[in-house]
Amino acid sequence: MSPAARHEIFARLQAADPDPRTELEYTDPFQLLVAVVLSAQATDKSVNLATPALFRDAPTPQAMLALGVTGLSAYIRSIGLFNTKARNLIETCRILIERFDGQVPAEREALESLPGVGRKTANVILNVAFGEATIAVDTHIFRVANRLGLAPGRTPLEVEQKLLQVVPEPFRRHAHHWLILHGRYVCTARRPNCQSCILVDLCEYDQKTGIAAKSERRRSTQRTARARPRTRRRKK
Ligand code: SF4
Can you give the CATH number for the domain in which 176 is found?
Answer: 1.10.340.30
Residue 216 forms part of a structural domain: no
* CB contact at 8 A, 6 and 166: yes
Does residue 211 form part of some domain? no
The residue-averaged pLDDT of 140-159 equals: 96
Average pLDDT over residues 168-179: 94
Ligand 1 centroid to Cα of residue 201, in Å, is 9
Is 234 a domain residue? no
Answer whether residue 146 is part of any domain: yes
**More confident: 236 or 187:** 187
Domain membership of residue 14 (yes or no) is: yes
Residue 195 lies inside a defined structural domain of this protein: yes
pLDDT band of 223, cuts 50, 70, 90 = very low
- Summary mean pLDDT of the chain: 90
Residue 144 pLDDT exceeds 50: yes
Q: How far is CA 183 from CA 36, 92, 125, 141, 176, in A?
A: 18, 30, 20, 7, 11
Could you tell me the pLDDT band of residue 210, with boundaries at 50, 70 and 90?
A: confident
Identify the residues whose C-beta falls under 6 Å from ligand 1. Answer: 147-148, 186-187, 192-194, 197, 199-200, 203, 205, 208
pTM of the model: 0.84
Atom of ligand 1 nearest to the CA of 209: 2
Quote the domain boundaries for residue 74. Answer: 1-205
Percent pLDDT > 70 in the chain is 89
* pLDDT reading at 218 higher than 80: no
- Count of the separate structural domains present in the chain: 1
Domain-embedded: residue 73: yes
In a domain, 10, yes or no: yes
